[in-house]
Amino acid sequence: MWTPLDYGRSFLIGKAPSNEVMFWVESRTRIIDEKNGTSEDYVQCASCKSEHTFAAHDLLQDDNYDFMPIFGPEYGLIFRRKAWLNPNYKSVVLAENMWAGQIYNLVEARALRELHTVQDVIDATHTLHPLVAQTEIWQADTGLRAIIEYPVKTMNTNREKHIYQVDTGPVLLPDLSQRWERHADGMSLAFVVFNVPDFADFVIEGPTVIADAHTTAGEPVKINHYSRKVSLTAQNRLYVLE
């Protein structure tokens, strides 16, 4: 069991004297190897824009892109999303080389309550207190399991029909279908949606054709976009921070 974070108070700070950058923690994923009893935690931080840091003027780079870092125990990831299908969209790098290492300030929630019924979820939503979800997925043949934890940014409720639906992202979704030499190589950005405890749907970011758009050579134009859908057996848990 994993105590949920208080995401409003959880941050990372880089150690590099040239830029002790602070990142807000947006989600975290734990990958559990049930064959050898080990686990690795990956912390996904909020996106920013490509910039000329500490410049006197013109602070934003040309051909600007979204920049998102993920920090793991040995390897981290950097996602750079441009308006075109850039080849360095995803980079796997040593975590110790990302701002000379990190200082973690991951604050566990102090007062929280697990929501066990639909009515619990609806009632907690309408208190307007922060909600946190954990989506646990697994692959029996590879012996891999993952817990994806994230603050619920969008919660749909219908009190008349007695139903709810979480729709939140981005989160870090690992591919558990194979045993990667580096877990980071099998990770993608995704949004997660669920309305029952036993499955979750994900839409994954990746190369996506723009309808009716073609290059001068006649090839379809592609960008990185959330378009590939998968539905996974899962155990979804919801908590309210009180």
- List, run by run, the mean pLDDT of 10-residue segments along the chain (242 residues): 92 97 98 96 97 97 97 98 94 97 96 97 97 98 98 98 97 97 97 98 95 73 94 98 94
pLDDT at 69: 98
Tell me whether residue 217 is exposed, middle or buried, using C-beta atoms within 10 angstroms of its C-beta: 0 to 12, 13 to 18, 19 or more.
exposed
Is there a domain that residue 1 lies in? no
pLDDT at 1: 67
pLDDT at 131: 98
Supply the range of the domain harboring residue 200: 7-241
Is there a domain that residue 2 lies in? no
The whole-model pTM stands at 0.95
Q: If we measure between CA atoms, which residue out of 89, 81, 90, 77 comes closest to residue 43?
A: 77
**In whole angstroms, what is the distance from residue 210 CA to residue 60 CA?**
27
Is there a domain that residue 127 lies in? yes
SS3 call for 186:
helix
Is there a domain that residue 66 lies in? yes
Length of the chain: 242
Neighbours of 160 (CB within 10 A): 6
In the chain, how many domains are there? 1
**In whole angstroms, what is the distance from residue 81 CA to residue 137 CA?**
27
Q: How far apart are the first and last CA of the chain?
A: 19
Give the H/E segment covering residue 124.
helix 118-125
**In whole angstroms, what is the distance from residue 27 CA to residue 96 CA?**
20
Q: If we measure between CA atoms, which residue out of 17, 72, 99, 64 comes closest to residue 186?
A: 72
